Amino acid sequence: MTIDRKTFESDRHRTAYLEAGPSDGPLMIFVHGWPEAPFVWIRQIEYFAAQGWRCIAPWMRGYGASSVPNNVVAYANRETVADLVELHDSLGGAPAVWMGHDWGSPVVWALAAHYPERCRGVASASIPYLARGFALPALVPLLDREIYPAEDFPVGQWDYWLAFREHFTPIARAMEAEPAGILRLVFQPSKPLSDTRGPAFSATARQRGGLFGGIDLAHIPRDNLLLEDQHVEEMARDLAANGFSGPIAWYLSDDANMEYAREAHDFGRLAMPVLFLHGGRDNVCETVRSRLAQPMREDCSDLTEVIIDAGHQLALEDPDGTNRAIAQWLMDKCV
C-alpha cells in the first residue's frame, strides 16, 4: 500500500496530509487529535484505501509541516474547520465520510454541524458530539460525581484543561523537554477495565504541575507501543521543532468554540449518518458508564454506537474491531 505525502496551501493556511487509495474513490477524511499526527489512523487508512476509498489524513494546525500560528485564537474551531473546508475543496469537494479522534472529533463534529452538505457521514472515536461545543461549560455538568466529588474534583477528569489555561507557558516548556517520552506514554496499551473505574490521572493535573507532572518521562518503556517507532520518532521531532504552544492552544478557546457552535444549522442537530466508537477502557473520555455521550443521543437523528474493547487509542489498540465497526456502518448507512 502506497501512502503519499502531499501539501495544500491557501492564502490563510498550509495543510500537510497523507493520501492513499484510488484518486477517483469516494472520500474518507481522517482527523487526528492531541498531541498526535495522522499516523493514529494508519491502520484504517491502509484498510479502507485497499477497499477503494480515497483516504486523506491531514496534520492539523500546530502539527507537522502544517501551519503553526503563534496566537491562541488561531486554534479555535472556526479556524480549524475552515482548514478542512479548504482542503476538502482542493480535493474536489464531493461529500465525504469524516472521521475524528480526540481533538479531531470536535472539529469534525463542528464541520458536520455547519456544513452538512459536505458530509456523507461523520464518525468519531472517543469524543462524543456536544451541540453546545466541546468546552468545559458543556462538559462539567455531565461529570460522574460519584467518581469526581465536586469538593475534590471541581472539573473532574478535565482538570488538565485548567492546568493548561493557568500555567500555559511553563507547561509547554516542560513538555517540550520530553516529547518522545510523552508520546511513549500516550501510545501505551490501555489498562484492564478494573483499573479504569477510579479518577483519571488527568483529574489531579494542577496539583501535579501539569498533565504529565510527576511522571518520569525519560524512562517510559519503548517496547510494546501501539504505534511503530518511526512514526513515534517523527512525531517527537515535529513536536520538538514546532513546540507545544500550538497544540496546547487548542484548549484555550472555550468561549469562541461555544459561540461558533451556536451558529450551527438547526441548533446543531445532525441528520446525516453518525457513528460513535466508545473506548470501553478509556479512563479520561469515559463514555460507557457516564453521561458524557447522552447529549449526542438527543442531537443525532441517525446514530450508531459501538463499544471497542480498548482505551483512548482504540483505532490503534484494536484496529480489526475498529475497522469492522466502521465497515459495517458504511455498508448500512453510507454506501
The CA distance from 279 to 267, in Å, is 28
Q: Which secondary structure element, helix H or strand E, spans residue 55, and what is its range?
A: strand 54-58
Cell numbers that stand for 267 in this block: 441548533
Per-residue pLDDT, 335: 83
- Which amino acid is located at 217 in the chain? L
Phi, psi of 265 (to 5 degrees): -60, 145
pLDDT in tens, the chain (335 residues): 799 999 999 999 999 999 999 999 999 999 999 999 999 999 999 999 999 999 999 999 999 999 999 999 999 999 999 999 999 999 999 999 999 999 999 999 999 999 999 999 999 999 999 999 999 999 999 999 999 999 999 999 999 999 999 999 999 999 999 999 999 999 999 988 655 578 999 999 999 999 999 999 999 988 899 999 999 999 999 999 999 999 999 999 999 999 999 999 999 999 999 999 999 999 999 999 999 999 999 999 999 999 999 999 999 999 999 999 999 999 999 98
Burial class (CB in 10 A: 0-12, 13-18, 19+), 257: buried
- How do the domains of the chain map onto residue ranges? 4-334
Q: What is the dihedral of CA 306, 307, 313, 319, to 10 degrees?
A: -70
CATH 3.40.50.1820 fits 4-334, yes or no: yes
Per-residue pLDDT, 196: 57
294 touches 266 (CB < 8 A): no
The CA distance from 60 to 17, in Å, is 9
The CA distance from 82 to 74, in Å, is 11
